[in-house]
Amino acid sequence: MTFAIITAALFAFSAVFNTRITKLLDEVTANFYRLLAACIILGAITLCFHPESFHPSASCWLMLSGAVGFGIGDIALFAAFARIGSRLTILINFSLSAIVGAFADWLLLNDPIGIWQWTSIMVILCGLGLALLSMGSGEMRKGSFRLGIIAAAVAGIGQGIGATISRHAEAIAALSGITINGISQAFQRVSAGLVCLFLLWLWKRRQGALSQPGSKQNRVLTWVLLAALFGPVLGVSCFQQSLKTMTSGEAMAVTATSPLLLIPLAYFFEGDRIRALSLLGAFVGVSGVIMMALLR
């Protein structure tokens, strides 16, 4: 569970950095650069220190997980970041991914969650809901607010199903006596997502629909590296490690506390006001995490 809590903190920072990138670049280019940087870093670490952590069947499932979670989920995630801001995006994203991941584990892996674990998840989501009620209209960035909500929901569904698929890959590797650590799993998932995003990037580039950093190139590089490190590199590696001891629903529920950690971060980085309901939501959400820890 420790890795899930660390993931929540890392994703909170990553969400702020991702939002900064989308203010300088379009969402496709921003996400492409972020995953490219992450893939290079994760690939170098995996090939140097864990070259044995590949399995023909399990790796295929991990790449499918990456195509769903990153290829579809992250494209939708960045579209939401640009339209409704980091806190609301990650709130909807992880709330849905926790529920979808729990049901996907039950339906696809025959691994249901007990009543008390469901209670913990619901307490966490209630805390997130309270924080959502405190959001004002100033959260809208550009484009359609409704489209941003839909994009965040698609991202949550993709990431929830992607987590379940990666758990299936872990089980296949375990049957063969192979251990695929979190860093290697993150690399295999991110590489598949990068391929999907590259195809979309090429298509949009041919249409001339991509933005260029121009004179802001140094700022873009800084935010891209920070977003890559806190998100796909460290965040996803810790999340994949958490799936070794937790179900998808449990891991996603703990990670869903990222919006609560984002309350002070969004205040300092994006000028969001801290409201009473946000603080109440944070208290309820953290109570749910504590309940889950005690149950485990």
pLDDT at 187 over 90: yes
Phi/psi class of residue 271: alpha, beta or left (left: φ > 0; alpha: ψ in -120 to 50)? Answer: left
Q: What is the pTM of this model?
A: 0.79
Count the domains in the chain: 1
Band (37; pLDDT cuts 50, 70, 90): very high
Q: How far apart are CA 45 and CA 233, in angstroms?
A: 10
Domain region containing 190: 2-295
Token pair recorded at residue 147: 């489209």
Higher-pLDDT residue of 15 and 196 is 196
Mean pLDDT, residues 12-25 taken together: 79
Higher-pLDDT residue of 288 and 225 is 225
The answer to whether the CB of 105 falls within 8 A of the CB of 112 is yes
- Concatenate the DSSP letters of all residues of the chain into one string: -HHHHHHHHHHHHHHHHHHHHHTTS-HHHHHHHHHHHHHHHHHHHHHHH-TT---HHHHHHHHHHHIIIIIIHHHHHHHHHHHH-HHHHHHHHHHHHHHHHHHHHHHHH--PPPHHHHHHHHHHHHHHHHHHHT--GGG--SS-HHHHHHHHHHHHHHHHHHHHHHHHHHHHHHHTT----HHHHHHHHHHHHHHHHHHHHHHHHHTT-----GGGHHHHHHHHHHHHIIIIIHHHHHHHHHTTTS-HHHHHHHHTTHHHHHHHHHHHHH-PPP-HHHHHHHHHHHHHHHHHHHH-
Convert the pLDDT of each residue in 61-96 to its tens digit: 999 999 998 888 888 887 887 787 766 777 788 778
Convert the pLDDT of each residue in 202-245 to its tens digit: 888 888 766 666 556 777 888 889 999 998 899 999 989 998 88
Mean pLDDT, residues 169-181 taken together: 88
pLDDT at 142 over 60: no
Q: How far apart are CA 161 and CA 121, in angstroms?
A: 17
